Structure 1
């Protein structure tokens, strides 16, 4: 279980003065040799601190191996909506889940347990951010634009991506816990691997949940089209397959709401991603069927235009 790490990370993030440097210090306290960096990212509404953690595997690319690299991206607008709201907001759970996985992986390495492949974990830390109107409940805004975050988090080194984000302000997935999206690759919404559903069942002890992805959701922000939220935005700027890990609720909960995070839901999502990273590195499943994808491309062509802002 990841409860210890979750509580420690939450206690760190539930602060009006937390910075990326504080997160680095916490993670370095687990493993002093960890490869972690932080730096400010300035946007149109302020700034946030990027945090990146690279955890090498026994046969990963950083050691000259061939095992593919998985990315776990904690998506959010911000961890706080100060000064409008007091305290940690629901929208911060993407960062909380991703950093919990980072803390657990570093702790595992100190105890002699290493994954086969490299794991790249990234998120950003901002205790102050405005909110914005959105239907059916208000969104958290972000000090920086989504494309700026994508440029920092989504890199060619990633062969597959989990994008974890609070996804409670909707009526399309109504359950406590978390849900998965289908993989999205270069504009194509593909079939979800059965192995991931097995891992989800095994780690939660319940039947799996899959949330629907609309075509609008896999287009970039900035095109004046309604999006569920930013969970699928990494798919707009990479050729790697992206699967959303949505932390969900039965009722609509605004991202700017405080007191709305549930440790069991975030822990389950984090534990699922950890177990999936293990299985992915061992070659037990692929994020998508390469042969079928090639067949789709041959029959119907490219959908890469959905990764652009389109034409007026």
Structure 2
């Protein structure tokens, strides 16, 4: 799997990185890949979506989203930035699963993988370290990356610009579904332990972290923004660091950590699509909603904001 991380990094580290380069790599394994270019006053980016078909059309479908502002911040910074982690992992997962399928190891259900490629994204102020900006807003990202066919979603995002999680590697979040922050999935903790050989690591979330961008409240980052656009359960896979690292910082794509995150997502895809892993306890979720009602308002911009 390490060669897939290196291949993804090599593709995305180029100044001319774009969706066509990604599509060429994925089509090597026969994966149908869609590239959509979106341009704004802030620049442009290529959204890339691909599907690794499963053997059983009735099996669950996993969504894998590489969430980021951009893979680089040229001309301000040269080379891939920390924020590129989400795209690197998403592409490495697609390459690995595509190769598995080409060799005859076919997962039970489909895996739908999406990210976007922008080698010259802007930056924006944020405390304690600057964020990567993006040519497009999060609602546009959700529109092009979140599919209704996804029965559950893994959102991979660099989460190093904070003082909340201070260790190297990757951490998983509690499951977020329709505005509810649920308990951390035992199934996914099992996979994390198995795939890393270490105790599990989890990321603390607040209520405001799962609300949409644009409501003028602090968010740890965009890792849970896909949860504002789907009823499916969403879990964040956060690549992390010991001390705060700006999203626009270069030299901060820790490849061994990306390898661990990629392995976790691949193992999650195997187990979820064949019904061995669940993202949440459906009976407990039904109990919560029967007692306290819907929390779907947290998926909107809230009262008084035209929503």
Contact 1:43 1:145 in 2 (8 A): no
Shift of 1:129: 1.1
Q: Pairwise mapping of residues 4-153 of structure 1 onto structure 2 (< 5 A)?
A: 4-29=3-28, 31=29, 33-59=30-56, 65-153=57-145
Q: Tell me whether 1:255 sits opposite 2:255 in the alignment.
A: no
Give 5+ residue unaligned stretches, structure 2.
none
Give 5+ residue unaligned stretches, structure 1.
60-64
Q: CA RMSD in A?
A: 0.8
**2:268 aligned partner:** 276
Secondary structure of 2:33 counterpart: strand
Following the alignment from structure 2 to structure 1, what is the Cα–Cα distance between the partners of residues 164 and 205?
Answer: 9
Contact 1:138 1:256 in 2 (8 A): yes
CA deviations over 1:257-304 (Å, ceiling 9, x no partner): 001111100110011010011011121121111111111110000000
Secondary structure of 1:173 counterpart: coil
**1:155 aligned partner:** 147
Shift of 1:44: 4.1
CA deviations over 1:3-57 (Å, ceiling 9, x no partner): 011101111111111110011011112x1x3111112012341110010011110
**1:308 aligned partner:** 300
Shift of 1:195: 1.6
Following the alignment from structure 2 to structure 1, what is the Cα–Cα distance between the partners of residues 297 and 89?
Answer: 31
Following the alignment from structure 1 to structure 2, what is the Cα–Cα distance between the partners of residues 277 and 43?
Answer: 34
With structure 2 as the length reference, what TM-score do the two structures score?
0.98
Flag as ranges the 4+ runs of structure 1 deviating above 3 A: none
Secondary structure of 1:197 counterpart: helix
Following the alignment from structure 1 to structure 2, what is the Cα–Cα distance between the partners of residues 224 and 7?
Answer: 38
Following the alignment from structure 2 to structure 1, what is the Cα–Cα distance between the partners of residues 58 and 41?
Answer: 40
CA deviations over 1:89-131 (Å, ceiling 9, x no partner): 1100100000000000111111110100100000000000111
Following the alignment from structure 2 to structure 1, what is the Cα–Cα distance between the partners of residues 222 and 185?
Answer: 22
Secondary structure of 2:116 counterpart: strand
Following the alignment from structure 1 to structure 2, what is the Cα–Cα distance between the partners of residues 44 and 241?
Answer: 33
Q: Tell me whether 1:204 sits opposite 2:203 in the alignment.
A: no
Secondary structure of 2:275 counterpart: coil
